[in-house]
Chain A
Amino acid sequence: NAGVMQNPRHLVRRRGQEARLRCSPMKGHSHVYWYRQLPEEGLKFMVYLQKENIIDESGMPKERFSAEFPKEGPSILRIQQVVRGDSAAYFCASSTREGPINQPQHFGDGTRLSIL
């Protein structure tokens, strides 16, 4: 499968624990985006990363959330001390670039995070 790979598909955590969500972009893609989808809502942008750089984190909550995209390995979205309100589907998307324009973002299947 050459698509965007996210794991785990489902993640259950208790309040106060940490959640780590992983995203491997499509082969050849160097741009990664994270979005959050709350129940019955559309997707909201969280963060945009390129290898080893955070380009735009304007949609990321200021506390408890962090993201990285290391030189080697997948992108990680980390949520510390989770609360019930963090329950959502978290989608990762990747794209490449032709000239000055990013190409369409292709999405992974998402990680459904449930907080008990």
Chain B
Amino acid sequence: AQKVTQAQTEISVVEKEDVTLDCVYETRDTTYYLFWYKQPPSGELVFLIRRNSFDEQNEISGRYSWNFQKSTSSFNFTITASQVVDSAVYFCALSEAMQGAQKLVFGQGTRLTINP
């Protein structure tokens, strides 16, 4: 069965600090996708990134970067120079890549608070 674990329930940092959100996953599939979504206080879900299991290159998008380590089944998310607007709940998710439902399995989420 697929499972996603976000061990950090809550993180609080001061603005401009770097912060890393951890995500560990379990799957028997050899081909799968990993995702990060952001849920700001307003409640909507914002898609941030999708990664397939064959692409272990790290990715950077502005202040956001993702570190995919297949050997440790981790897909960690780092925010550099955090800002108050980064305050949100962040969800890591996993889906199979084969034909079929491709439903997302979400972690419990990490509530990130950036203090001014």
Contact = CB atoms under 8 A, between A and B. Distances in A.
A23 B105 CA distance: 21
A107 B45 contact: yes
Contacts of A95: 102
B64 to A, nearest CB: 16
Interface stretch (B14-22, B80-88, B93-101): B93-101
A109 B106 contact: no
Interface residues of B, number: 24
A42 interface: yes
* Interchain residue pairs A-B with the least CB separation, the first 10: A56-B101, A107-B45, A42-B106, A45-B103, A109-B44, A102-B102, A43-B106, A42-B108, A48-B101, A104-B50
Interface of B: 35, 37, 42-47, 50, 91, 93, 97-109
